[in-house]
């Protein structure tokens, strides 16, 4: 069980909190302590909108340990509207819903549970925007 | 009961999982009796959903509609009878996900299917006493049922959240609320048990019907109103018949109740049931409408509320997600996928 690690990652997992450079306005996800653009160490927490588009996507049949119960699932690179590209699982989708350029938005889902008696990890996934 | 300071709903939101199973499919597996398809469905949580994720999405939708700073919330209270953790609050996760922590009270409420409306009464008290400007309450469940039990035909999943705030900011202002509670054992789940037990027809009378009749009658006496004064009435909905029957007994016209009975579409969402119905009523209400909300929780009790809709509803609800969108978004699954998604198939 990784109590400390999951506790440290909660703000990014639950709220998509990344960093914004106070010097050059570059936005990062996950959080950074130094800007890769200008080298500044003045980075502030920045909450991303959770809206983006699929850049590339694949379907996973052989999952890493802990994710076996969710196969088959889609994993994608999602380009957030603020710029960062994030690797995430897609949820509530079928093959026909998934395409490059598709608009998606962030939802919080149960990512991992450490056995029947360990902690449950909640984090971001992405899903197609609700149709009106 | 009513606070000295006017209080109302400043934002609300619901959430219903995407998957549905036809009650006829449940019937096919356990009775093989060929029940007609397409009449009633229930929402099934996906393999990565639980009460916490449902509550988070409902809370986010409510926050989007209310458009307030989450750090102004002084309480995040959710009611459920399907907590993912037996010990560890769901509400702290919800509050963290919407950015309301750390200067907020967070707690889980429990009273079978009515903890969400208990939390609503408490939130009304908190805002009404000026201890808080805003407080969030809600109810969500992934309802449990023993495989093959009559409950399994209707146990759904979903939830709703409401943000209470000052009356002048509200889309619906509270007129009054009452509770009627007795020690009646009609439905329960013992500690450590996976599925609830119920008293068959005893869950109707003297449980559901007596308690709702009592809370609503008391409320109407307190505010000097009759059934004809309400534009819409929303009742707890364990099935599609009970709310229509209690409405008829109380004198409410069927067409003011039926549009908000969602049981045939998403099943009985336990703590979410009456609250989702209330959210759907707010989705279609007009300024000046009065809405009755009456929950029921086994064990047993009923909370009743009278709200009057304000002019603000027209603009404010444009920022939200109508419940109808979640009702339309659906994918049918068979019993095998339902069993997998609900964790009824174990590989080790």
CA distance linking residue B346 with residue B327, whole number of Å: 30
**What pTM was estimated for this model as a whole?**
0.97
Q: If contacts are CB pairs under 8 Å, which of residues 68-97 in chain A contact chain B?
A: 69-70, 91-92, 94
> Where residue B348 falls among pLDDT bands split at 50, 70, 90?
low
When CB atoms are compared, the residue of A47, A70, A122 closest to B47 is: A70
pLDDT at A132 over 90: no
Question: Is B113 known to be catalytic?
Answer: yes
pLDDT at B34 over 80: no
Q: Are residues B110 and B58 in the same domain?
A: yes
CA distance linking residue A71 with residue B27, whole number of Å: 28
Q: If contacts are CB pairs under 8 Å, which of residues 16-45 in chain A contact chain B?
A: none
Mean pLDDT of A31-44: 96
Q: Are residues B40 and B100 in the same domain?
A: yes
Quote the pLDDT of residue B36.
85
For the range B118-123, what are the long-range contacts, defined as Cβ-Cβ under 8 Å and sequence gap of 24 or more? B118/B79, B118/B179, B118/B297, B118/B303, B119/B77, B119/B78, B119/B79, B120/B162, B120/B164, B120/B177, B120/B303, B120/B305, B121/B1, B121/B177, B121/B179, B121/B303, B122/B75, B122/B77, B123/B75, B123/B77, B123/B162, B123/B164
The answer to whether residues A53 and B134 touch, using CB atoms and an 8 Å cutoff, is no
% chain B with pLDDT above 90:
91
Q: Are residues B142 and B184 in the same domain?
A: no
When CB atoms are compared, the residue of B50, B96, B321 closest to A14 is: B96
Q: Write the pLDDT tens digit of every residue in A47-67.
A: 999 999 999 999 999 999 888
Question: Is B198 known to be catalytic?
Answer: no
Quote the pLDDT of residue B199.
82
The answer to whether B99 contacts chain A (CB < 8 Å) is: yes
% chain B with pLDDT above 70:
100
pLDDT at B22 over 90: yes
The answer to whether residues A122 and B52 touch, using CB atoms and an 8 Å cutoff, is yes
CA distance linking residue A85 with residue A77, whole number of Å: 6
Q: Tell me, yes or no, whether B346 lies in a domain.
A: no
Tell me chain B's radius of gyration from C-alpha atoms: 19
- Choices 1.10.468.10, 2.40.50.840, 2.60.120.260, 1.20.140.10: CATH for A3-128: 2.40.50.840
A48-52, B172-176, B185-189: which has the minimum mean pLDDT? B185-189
Q: Are residues B120 and B46 in the same domain?
A: yes
Residue pairs between chains A and B whose CB atoms are closer than 8 Å:
54
Contacts of B58 (CB under 8 A, 6+ apart): B13, B14, B15, B138, B140, B159, B160, B161, B272
pLDDT at A119 over 70: yes
Quote the pLDDT of residue B57.
98
Q: Are residues B166 and B283 in the same domain?
A: no
Q: Are residues B118 and B48 in the same domain?
A: yes
Q: Are residues B120 and B45 in the same domain?
A: yes
B57 vs A120: CB contact, 8 Å cut-off?
no
The answer to whether B199 contacts chain A (CB < 8 Å) is: no
Q: Tell me, yes or no, whether B2 lies in a domain.
A: no
**For testing contact with chain B, the best of A9, A65, A108, A125 (most B CBs within 10 A):** A108
pLDDT at A101 over 90: yes
Mean pLDDT of A10-35: 96
The strand pairing partners of B9, in sequence order, are B164, B172
Distance from CA of A51 to the nearest CA of B (A): 14
pLDDT at B246 over 70: yes
Contacts of A116 (CB under 8 A, 6+ apart): none
**Nearest chain A alpha carbon to B331:** A92
Quote the pLDDT of residue A113.
86
Quote the pLDDT of residue B202.
85
When CB atoms are compared, the residue of A47, A92, A94 closest to B46 is: A92
The reply to whether omega before A49 is within 30° of 0 (cis) is: no
When CB atoms are compared, the residue of A10, A69, A130 closest to B329 is: A130
Q: Are residues B55 and B182 in the same domain?
A: no
Closest CA to A125 of A5, A16, A1, A4: A16
Quote the pLDDT of residue B336.
97
Q: Are residues B178 and B304 in the same domain?
A: yes
Catalytic residue among B25, B81, B152, B308: B81
Quote the pLDDT of residue B35.
79
Task: Supply the CATH number for residue B120's domain.
Answer: 3.40.47.10
A108 vs B97: CB contact, 8 Å cut-off?
yes
Query: Helix, strand, or coil here: A90?
Result: strand
Catalytic residue among B49, B118, B169, B236: B236
Quote the pLDDT of residue A68.
87
Mean pLDDT of B211-238: 98
Q: Tell me, yes or no, whether B1 lies in a domain.
A: no
Mean pLDDT of B252-256: 98
pLDDT at B132 over 80: yes
% chain A with pLDDT above 70:
98
Task: Work out how many domains chain B is built from and give that number.
Answer: 2
CA distance linking residue B76 with residue A56, whole number of Å: 37
Higher pLDDT pick, A117 / B167: B167
Q: Torsions phi, psi of B49, nearest 5?
A: -110, 150
Average pLDDT along chain B: 96
Range of the domain at B53: 7-171+316-341
pLDDT at A23 over 60: yes
**For testing contact with chain A, the best of B44, B48, B342 (most A CBs within 10 A):** B48
Q: Are residues B140 and B239 in the same domain?
A: no
Q: Are residues B120 and B218 in the same domain?
A: no
CA angle (A120, A125, A128) in 5-degree steps = 145
Q: How many Cα atoms within 13 Å fall on the side-chain side of residue B333?
A: 20
> Where residue B149 falls among pLDDT bands split at 50, 70, 90?
very high
Question: Is B210 known to be catalytic?
Answer: no
């Amino acid at each position: 069980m990784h109590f400390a690690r999951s506790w440290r990652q909660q703000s990014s997992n639950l709220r998509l909190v990344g960093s914004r450079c106070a010097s050059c306005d570059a936005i990062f996800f996950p959080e950074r302590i130094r800007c890769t653009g200008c080298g500044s160490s003045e980075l502030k927490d920045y909450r991303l909108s959770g809206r983006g588009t699929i850049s590339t996507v694949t379907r996973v049949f052989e999952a890493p340990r802990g994710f076996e119960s969710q196969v088959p699932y889609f994993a994608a690179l999602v380009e957030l509207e603020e710029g960062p590209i994030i690797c995430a699982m897609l949820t509530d989708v079928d093959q026909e819903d998934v395409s490059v350029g598709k608009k998606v938005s962030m939802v919080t889902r149960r990512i991992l549970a450490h056995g029947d008696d360990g902690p449950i990890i909640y984090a971001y996934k992405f899903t197609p925007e609700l149709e009106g | 009961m009513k606070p000295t300071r006017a209080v109302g709903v400043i934002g609300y939101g619901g959430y219903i999982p995407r998957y549905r199973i036809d009650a006829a499919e449940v019937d096919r597996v356990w009775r093989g009796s060929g029940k007609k398809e397409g009449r009633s469905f229930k929402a099934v949580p996906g393999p990565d959903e639980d009460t916490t994720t449902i509550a988070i999405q409902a809370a986010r939708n409510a926050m989007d509609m209310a458009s307030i700073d989450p750090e102004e919330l002084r309480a995040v209270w959710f009611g459920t009878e399907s907590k993912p953790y037996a010990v560890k609050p769901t509400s702290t996760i919800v509050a963290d996900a919407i950015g309301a922590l750390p200067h907020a009270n967070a707690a889980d409420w429990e009273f079978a299917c009515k903890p969400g409306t208990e939390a609503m009464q408490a939130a009304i008290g908190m805002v009404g006493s000026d201890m808080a400007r805003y407080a969030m309450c809600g109810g969500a469940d992934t309802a449990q049922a023993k495989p093959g039990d009559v409950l399994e035909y209707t146990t759904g999943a979903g939830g709703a959240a409401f943000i209470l705030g000052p009356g002048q900011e509200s889309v619906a202002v509270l007129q009054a609320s009452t509770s009627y509670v007795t020690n009646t054992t009609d439905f329960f789940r013992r500690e450590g048990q996976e599925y609830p037990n119920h008293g068959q027809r005893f869950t109707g009378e003297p449980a559901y019907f007596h308690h709702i009749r009592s809370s609503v009658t008391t409320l109407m006496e307190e505010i000097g109103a009759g059934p004809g004064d309400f534009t819409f009435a929303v009742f707890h909905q364990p099935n599609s018949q009970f709310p229509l029957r209690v409405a008829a007994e109380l004198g409410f016209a069927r067409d003011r109740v039926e549009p908000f009975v969602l049981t045939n579409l998403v099943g009985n969402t336990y703590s979410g049931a009456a609250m989702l119905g209330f959210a759907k009523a707010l989705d279609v209400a007009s300024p000046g409408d009065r809405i009755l909300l009456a929950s029921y929780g086994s064990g047993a009790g009923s909370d009743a509320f009278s709200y009057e809709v304000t002019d603000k509803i027209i603009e404010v609800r444009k920022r939200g997600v109508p419940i109808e969108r979640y009702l339309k978004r659906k994918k049918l699954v068979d019993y095998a996928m339902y069993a997998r998604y609900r964790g009824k198939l174990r590989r080790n």
